[in-house]
Structure 1
């Protein structure tokens, strides 16, 4: 909410400085986000009247003007050479005298000084200024034309009240009452005790009996609807400079007189209104919910499709307005408009909230109605608008009809009770019942007193007073947060200890970073293409209102996000990329029930994913450069899960190469996948080489076994090497698992250290077979191993390997 200080002080003018006023508002909960002057400093700029204007003898686009500057032109009229297209006799414009200092033309430059000079051989004794040259606006189409009643020679800064300050408030959603200058002035009056100017809306007598028929068919949409017909208005009238100036200082540009009047009342009293072209309304109006299949072309040029969740104002033929948000193009006023219908209504906040965002736009009207607009002032504000229309756009034939006011469902605010003892406990300082009563009186809240309680009936403009804590907040902020004593909190401090059997997410991050990965953070919503191609998810969860068209679904895997990060880095010539992400994914799961941290039907676990691309190691002299491969990323996963020993099983995944991917299992439970990106997707995403990726369930990664004491064996281990011939279909894990499965417990480890496959079949190896050399480690912690026990254990191991199709070589 932006407004000029001068407009605020016209309603309430406390005896405090601008800085003190800004601090007061901020400490009362109306945060002042920005404070800046209405105009930059400049000097010796006065009102000048062009008395003569002749063509420059040496330039087609210049004119030689004779300007009356009042007491500043003691030797007669000043001669000014000007190139503005609207430089003509009779207008009053800003005149920068010789020696005047104007705002700098470029950022960082000093002030621009006007000097006596010549333009194309003709002397110029000053400069006539546009609004842009004075930095009042970006308009540089011509001279800034001042009011014809402006006294010649008067200082322009004083005439235009340029020594003003613009306030910008950052308001929370519960402060809808402060979305107007009068609403803020009401707060200032309550906080300072300064008198508040009570607005007066003298009724305009109706000269016509005309009333537009209106049927409010949806009381849950509209609680009050008021309107009036005004005939024979001059829609081409010029908006007064004082109104244009106030709107500009609120950040609103001037459009037309009727639109400016509507906007002015909205900023002044927080009342959004709409003005229809009466001749474009067919029959009467119906206030109702939209119907499927209906469309409406809005004032912004967009055509939207409606449904039963959107409120509308319709006539007998079509929908004409989006209720509480924006009017329609079909009934918009134009230069040809003669008769208008002025509407002011109360729309229920729940009926307006979020509707504009469904169509990807927001409006000042919708912003206010979502937070609650005072329903009690519709008639008074129509009288105010009527008076402004008569004064600005009136003609001798202008006449208005009576106000039609319908109140099908006015809001009823339930009384709220404040316990004084409870207020003192929450605020943290002693407060009395008299203090609370004084606060409510200053805020204009009607209340009744009981034994230690005050019961407040919220006024029509306070939609935020619902529970006792709302009243406590009012007491605290009016008394002043700065007056609260500094009191240490009294509460037990109980540290939350994490079990030694688990590690936190930050510990996991540090562990992955120690493996030479860098963390990246991405959106939880991604392209639908990624879900289909990289995760095989044909039915992802769609985002109802995506921030960008491609980011339309929730991700069920982190792989797509990491691939996109890789593409981003490759586009910037990064030769080696190693990134990871720890984030949440989501997919549909009917077994999930609604809870404090869950949403019914949606599973949202945390995942850890990593990507490695390019050389396995940074450039160095000690080893030749090689590309990262499956076994590098497999080693990273093993290091991350240590001391647990994961098992890797060949598996297929939509994102990975069918022969270079695996499922990760810990204690027989699958916790993730890893592998090389599928060649199809490497080409589709235009990657020079295939990256290696892994994705694990975060909860499984966080498990950390507690170290258990085991004494070091006092005896030496025995090592035996076996050369086993196995079919090529026999896997390493199956063979090693069989060798380790020793009931006696002597076989402590089995490690593969050589693989041999002859080019041609030999006497001891047929086609389709290979030789695996395995080293067995045998150890008995209690006694020294004898040769007989060792031979028996090796024979038993060979027998178990035979069950996997293995035999001793030779």
Structure 2
């Protein structure tokens, strides 16, 4: 919200400097984002009138002017402006005057000079030279009644300051100069000038038929016909200046009047060309397929995604309710008869509609936050007053006021407990302090025993709860006056269970394994979900930040592949990345709570990707092979340690069907590890296949509680065995058979250290479809040294178990 200080002080003029006023507003929650002077510094520039303008004898583009500045003599000034002519009043810089600084930052001082042999005693100025505007359209022409010799800063009110406020959404009542003046009056105690709305003389009882068909859209609709107006009139300079200082360009008198009242009182309104309306007006919800060309030139089509309110006539829609008017009924220089409309639109009926059509307006910004429904008639009287002053003619006739109130909002009563306010604000408060703060803001308040009951006025849509009133009390006291005190509260540390580790430990472990962390968006391409995650029904976003990032991810794999592709395209030969992030799944069993959304599960996962050489280039390695499945499998085992994980063949939409394994922990599936599927490798244009893993984070965070165990007193005995098993027998099955066949407490460890498969054309003592596994067994006892008979018995028991459970035979 931008406005000039002088306009604010017309309504409320506290005895404060500009900076003090800005500080007061900021400390009351109305943050002053910027203070900027209306015009840069310059001096000795006055109003002058050109009395004579003749051609320069030696220059085609120069004129020698005689200028009256209210002094005893006319000044001789040479000027090259194309509009320098007799009779106009312009800014005149006297000898000794300083103009605004140029590009070098230094002010320009006017001296007596000679231009092509003719002496010049001053300079006639353009708006650009005074840095009042960017365009250089010649001299700045002033109104004919400008007093000669008056300082131009005083005449144009250039010793003014522009305030720019950064308002929060709940402060919609401050989206007008009068609304801010009301706040200043409450904060400083300065008198607030009451508003007066003179009632225009009614010359005709004509009314435009208006039917409100959607009362959940429009709660009040007021309007008036005004005939025989002069739309070719010129907007007064004072109004043009005020609009410009509010950041609004002057368009045409009727449009300027509507905008002026909006900035003055916070009331958006609309003026129709009455002769372009077919029949009457209908206030209703738009129908799917209806189109409207707006004042900004855009043509919008109403769809079934969001209900949109419209004002229509008997033939077509003419306006987007509370947002923008239509081009078909816009006023123009040919307009003679107008219809002035001011309405109350329910905030929920306007909110989001501008964004739906990819534009925003000042009217929509105000209506979606709430505009006072009580003063539509008075504000139309204010608009009428300005129309008559600026565009009125002897034939101008005002119609009777038409005011319909089908669904006005009810007044809300909110109770404030003084003790509660003191506790929340953190300082002692009296009931009188609270009463004075609330009544100063114009809030009707009744007192009880330690309780205040406030009836929220029609312009305060933000007052619904006791906390809203507490905030108002705190604002009026001033945030800078609140005491600074340290909070006192019992502190009980939240200790993590011993069988859990933190996410940072997982991050450090992966970083130690050579992986680098990435952070990616939770919304991804729908194609990734369908192809890489095998999710045909992903969760779609209603308002994606980009058209291709349209769904929520159910897997981290797509994000990691994009990171890989980004790096490979930039000639990275070795990439190892990981991400810890949330995925989003449909799950009807999830109930609504403070941390969950009904019907959606949001578990955390950890995923990693390895690509390129297994190791970085080093002098001690004669050969550096490519990363493979077993390298990443080892990383997964290290990540889950000290808990043991088992792996079984599986299929995953993103992974190679023969080089993919499901990761199990305690018999429960917790994720996948595998090589990227060849078709995705080809579609992503990768020179080799990366190896990926994705695990449930909760399973990774689990760990064993350390248990004390004494050091063995007796040395362990190692025995190597080689067994022949079928090719389809897994390592996990072999280890399960060994552990189940060993005597209780005797087997310290079992490690597979060799796998033998015969070469093509040579049996090696094995049949087709067989392999030989060499396993080292470590046997020991905590009570006594093992005898040969004990060792042999243990080995035979293990071999028998292998035979029974896996069909193995001793090689």
| TM-score under structure 2 length normalisation | 0.92
User: Which residues in structure 2 correspond to 1:210-289 (within 5 Å)?
Assistant: 210-289=206-285
Checking the alignment, whether the CA contact within 8 Å between 1:131 and 1:144 is kept in structure 2 is yes
Equivalent residue number for residue 785 of structure 2: 784
Does the residue aligned with 1:375 lie in a helix, a strand or coil? coil
| Alpha-carbon offset, residue 767 of structure 1 | 3.5
- 2: distance between equivalents of 1:659 and 1:207? 91
Does the residue aligned with 1:673 lie in a helix, a strand or coil? strand
| TM-score under structure 1 length normalisation | 0.92
| Alpha-carbon offset, residue 510 of structure 1 | 3.5
User: Which residues in structure 2 correspond to 1:469-618 (within 5 Å)?
Assistant: 469-618=467-616
Write out per-residue CA displacement over residues 423-451 of structure 1, whole angstroms, 9 at most, x where no aligned residue: 33333333222222222332222222223
- 1: distance between equivalents of 2:544 and 2:75? 67
Correspondent of 2:300 among 299, 303, 308: 303
Equivalent residue number for residue 27 of structure 2: 27
**More displaced stretch, 185-194 vs 130-139:** 130-139
Change (3 A) 1:800 1:298: farther
Change (3 A) 1:293 1:718: same
- 1: distance between equivalents of 2:619 and 2:97? 71
Does the residue aligned with 1:207 lie in a helix, a strand or coil? strand
- 1: distance between equivalents of 2:799 and 2:542? 62
Equivalent residue number for residue 430 of structure 1: 428
Does the residue aligned with 2:700 lie in a helix, a strand or coil? helix
Equivalent residue number for residue 174 of structure 1: 170
| Alpha-carbon offset, residue 354 of structure 1 | 2.3
Checking the alignment, whether the CA contact within 8 Å between 2:443 and 2:455 is kept in structure 1 is yes
Q: Cα RMSD over matched residues?
A: 2.8
| Alpha-carbon offset, residue 119 of structure 1 | 7.5
Equivalent residue number for residue 467 of structure 1: 465
Does the residue aligned with 1:246 lie in a helix, a strand or coil? helix
Equivalent residue number for residue 658 of structure 2: 659
- 1: distance between equivalents of 2:481 and 2:500? 46
Does the residue aligned with 2:343 lie in a helix, a strand or coil? strand
Equivalent residue number for residue 799 of structure 1: 800
Equivalent residue number for residue 364 of structure 2: 366
Equivalent residue number for residue 159 of structure 1: 155
Change (3 A) 1:435 1:779: same
**More displaced stretch, 271-280 vs 145-154:** 145-154
Change (3 A) 1:129 1:453: same
- 2: distance between equivalents of 1:140 and 1:166? 23
| Alpha-carbon offset, residue 97 of structure 1 | 5.4
Does the residue aligned with 1:741 lie in a helix, a strand or coil? helix
1:148 aligns with 2:144: yes
| Alpha-carbon offset, residue 90 of structure 1 | 4.2
1:404 aligns with 2:405: no
Checking the alignment, whether the CA contact within 8 Å between 1:740 and 1:748 is kept in structure 2 is no
Equivalent residue number for residue 708 of structure 2: 709
Equivalent residue number for residue 644 of structure 2: 645
Change (3 A) 1:808 1:216: same
Change (3 A) 1:172 1:758: same
Equivalent residue number for residue 773 of structure 2: 772
| Alpha-carbon offset, residue 14 of structure 1 | 0.4
- 1: distance between equivalents of 2:125 and 2:679? 66
- 2: distance between equivalents of 1:35 and 1:684? 56
Write out per-residue CA displacement over residues 607-654 of structure 1, whole angstroms, 9 at most, x where no aligned residue: 222333344444443435554433333333222222112222232222
Write out per-residue CA displacement over residues 582-617 of structure 1, whole angstroms, 9 at most, x where no aligned residue: 222212222222222222211111222233334444
Does the residue aligned with 1:371 lie in a helix, a strand or coil? coil
1:3 aligns with 2:3: yes
**More displaced stretch, 8-17 vs 795-804:** 795-804
Write out per-residue CA displacement over residues 431-477 of structure 1, whole angstroms, 9 at most, x where no aligned residue: 22222222233222222222332222222212222222222222222
Change (3 A) 1:655 1:488: same
- 2: distance between equivalents of 1:120 and 1:682? 79
- 2: distance between equivalents of 1:69 and 1:614? 85
- 2: distance between equivalents of 1:197 and 1:710? 87
Checking the alignment, whether the CA contact within 8 Å between 2:609 and 2:690 is kept in structure 1 is yes
- 2: distance between equivalents of 1:265 and 1:188? 20
Equivalent residue number for residue 698 of structure 1: 697
Equivalent residue number for residue 203 of structure 2: 207
| Alpha-carbon offset, residue 116 of structure 1 | 6.8
Change (3 A) 1:632 1:460: same
Change (3 A) 1:527 1:65: farther
Does the residue aligned with 2:78 lie in a helix, a strand or coil? strand
- 2: distance between equivalents of 1:515 and 1:67? 87
- 2: distance between equivalents of 1:671 and 1:113? 80
**More displaced stretch, 122-131 vs 456-465:** 122-131
Change (3 A) 1:103 1:559: farther
Checking the alignment, whether the CA contact within 8 Å between 1:222 and 1:345 is kept in structure 2 is yes
Equivalent residue number for residue 718 of structure 2: 719
- 2: distance between equivalents of 1:523 and 1:278? 52
- 1: distance between equivalents of 2:524 and 2:710? 52
- 1: distance between equivalents of 2:313 and 2:234? 30
Write out per-residue CA displacement over residues 38-71 of structure 1, whole angstroms, 9 at most, x where no aligned residue: 23333444445455666778888x4436262616
| Alpha-carbon offset, residue 182 of structure 1 | 0.5
**More displaced stretch, 769-778 vs 187-196:** 769-778
- 1: distance between equivalents of 2:439 and 2:188? 13
Number of aligned residues: 805
Correspondent of 2:336 among 335, 338, 360: 338
- 2: distance between equivalents of 1:216 and 1:629? 72
- 1: distance between equivalents of 2:802 and 2:598? 50
**More displaced stretch, 707-716 vs 418-427:** 418-427
Checking the alignment, whether the CA contact within 8 Å between 2:742 and 2:797 is kept in structure 1 is no
Checking the alignment, whether the CA contact within 8 Å between 2:78 and 2:118 is kept in structure 1 is no
- 1: distance between equivalents of 2:755 and 2:431? 90
**More displaced stretch, 33-42 vs 93-102:** 93-102
Equivalent residue number for residue 440 of structure 1: 438
| Alpha-carbon offset, residue 86 of structure 1 | 4.9
